[in-house]
A = this chain, B = another copy of it.
Amino acid sequence: MMKRIAVFTSGGDAPGMNACVRAVVRTAVYHGIEVYGIMRGYSGMIKGEFVRLDSASVANTIQKGGTILKSARSQKFQTREGRQQAFDQLVNNGIEGLVAIGGNGTFTGASLFEEEFGIPTVGAPGTIDNDLYGTDYTIGYDTAVNTALEAIDKIRDTADSHDRCFFVEVMGRDSGYIAMPCAIGGGAEIVMIPETQMSTEAVVESLKSSWRRSKTSFIVVVAEGEEEGNAHTVAQRVKEAIPQLDTRVTIIGHIQRGGAPSAADRLLASQIGIAAVEGLLNGMHNVMAGIVDRKLVYTPFSDTINKKKLINQSFMRMVEILSV
């Protein structure tokens, strides 16, 4: 059995990463193995920024946003030479297994690294984007959606008070996973996401139609990766088409990454942190731990990287029905 493992966070930070680190550390302690934290992801792995962690190290971290292990990009890890240095550091520190918390970029690196150097790695899906195959939800997603939704609730106050049309941009470069529940939960009239390619013309038609039914305030949720352009561009075009509409734009932005994780994210992060360590101890490697239909599953990194998790198609219809 392994005697010493290490855990790190990589990619954009997500609420619940600390809850996951905590679960990794305490599961290791529970099973009598040593655990190190690697600071700043692959960058710190190359530089040997290792910190011994014990149960007390992660006390009072479950509710903290961000990541106590920090995160950083590493150009060097993309080179064979950089990965060799990282491996040497692990060997020198007696690390026999890794838990990698992050998204697809993290797992692509982890997968390549394991194939080259044979160090067993289990991934934990830590990203607000929820765009990972192999788990229903990623760690941080539920919190990010709630944060964006609270912002939309506040914007709705102002939209109603002034009879305005707000274009609210939420995160989601490749998918509408964040935008969709924000639109449904925020009572938005329209949602624009990469998956559906709604044209600005269609947005204009829909707003005109609502206007005729004497609606006077509107929320349009726009995913940042929307191909018609970002919220500013779309708002500008709509304003040109309907000059009497009083339009405003809000980019929710980085606020979505921070804050104390929700209950669901703390629970998910804890489940996955335990599963990652126990997976490693049971010989799992080159896989991501996830929860699908409330059951623990391990999915090969190759699948999480290459397969696409599709958004629930019924959601588009829900927005249409609910904004009647």
Contact = CB atoms under 8 A, between A and B. Distances in A.
Interface of A: 9, 13, 15, 19, 22-23, 26-27, 29-30, 55, 59-60, 62-67, 70-72, 136, 142, 145-147, 149, 151, 153-158, 160-163, 166, 181-182, 184-187, 248, 250-255, 257-260, 262-264, 266-267, 270-271, 274, 293-294, 312, 314, 318, 320-324
A32 B271 CA distance: 45
A26 B270 contact: no
A185 B263 contact: yes
A248 B251 CA distance: 13
B254 A250 contact: yes
Nearest to A59: B187
Nearest to A252: B255
Copy count, this protein chain: 4
A153 B321 contact: no
A142 B146 CA distance: 12
A106 B217 CA distance: 23
- Interface core residue of A55, A63, A70, A71 (most chain B CB under 10 Å): A63
B67 A267 contact: no
Contact of A163 (B63, B72, B147, B314): B72
A30 B15 CA distance: 34
B266 A156 contact: no
14 contacts: A23-B321, A30-B321, A60-B156, A60-B187, A62-B185, A66-B156, A66-B161, A70-B161, A153-B258, A158-B254, A158-B258, A181-B264, A185-B270, A274-B321
Given A22-B322, A185-B270, 5 more contacts: A19-B185, A64-B157, A65-B157, A67-B161, A271-B318
